[in-house]
Amino acid sequence: MIRVTITRTRGSSPRETGATMFVTADELSGTIGGGQLEYMAIDRARQMLRLGEDAADMDIPLGPEIGQCCGGRVELALTRVEQTPVPPEHPQVLIFGAGHVGRALARALALLPLRPVLIDQRSDELARASGETRLTPLPEAEIRNAPYGSSYVVLTHDHALDFLLVAEALRRLDAPYIGMIGSHTKLVQFRRFARAQGLDTDRLTCPIGAAYSRDKRPEVIAAFTAAELIGRLTQTTSCKKRHPCDS
């Protein structure tokens, strides 16, 4: 079986960095955007299966030459794996920080087909929360060990810890949503931090829930973040807006 993952996008693309599909000799699971891009990737993956190759890379322009109109460019990593990781029916959302917004977000997500887990290093804050909680001195380890397809929302009491956790989450290319609470200034600072580590911040949503309202009440931020997150997880279109690439 071959895992095909988008590792980099330039310009408009049918799916985001981290989008993954799995290819066997006669079956498919997941999508990287459909159309000729996906057809070429499937063809290359099945060639790898026939030839016994373990890894390959592809750099594909999304222009008229391959029959797609996105106009960007996509880089793919193809890797042989043993079996397909199947996302759970209720995907896990790890919420880091059990303060007011974290607790409100855990309550909001509990009403959706998701499994929110509230994580903190402070037992007193977790004691005030409802639902599934996790006390740990090493929250970054929770990201490394999280199930395939988990999402991550970071809103701790410490900016340095936020940066550490978001950097760890960005290394998980299977994460459909990575969010961090904060201001534009905080985002600029994080981007400098991430660049120094060779991380792409295009997959990060920061500030969270900000597209709908400037209301700063925890419950309002939580409601809009929940809408933002579930919207991301339930997207069914294979192309970004104004670029219908699937053909």
Reported as a pLDDT band with limits 50, 70 and 90, residue 238 is very low
Q: 30: how many CB neighbours lie within 10 A of its CB?
A: 18
Predicted confidence (pLDDT) per residue in 22-63, tens digit: 899 888 777 787 778 888 999 999 999 999 999 999 998 886
Cα 217 to chain centroid distance, Å, stands at 26
Reported as a pLDDT band with limits 50, 70 and 90, residue 68 is low
Q: Could you give the 3-state DSSP secondary structure of residue 135?
A: strand
Domains along the chain?
2-80 (no CATH), 92-233 (3.40.50.720)
Note the pLDDT of residue 101.
96
Smallest CA-to-CA distance from 146 within 124, 171, 123 is with 171
Q: How many residues does the chain have?
A: 247
Q: Residue 112 is which amino acid? A: L
Predicted confidence (pLDDT) per residue in 166-204, tens digit: 999 999 888 999 999 998 899 999 999 999 988 989 999
The DSSP call for residue 64 is: G
The DSSP call for residue 147 is: P
Residues linked to residue 179 through DSSP beta bridges, in sequence order: 153, 205
Q: Are 47 and 25 in contact (CB under 8 A)?
A: no
- Integer Cα distance of 212 and 156 in angstroms: 22
Instruction: Lowest mean pLDDT of 13-17, 126-130, 158-162, 220-224, name the range.
Output: 13-17
Whether 240 has a pLDDT exceeding 60, the answer reads no
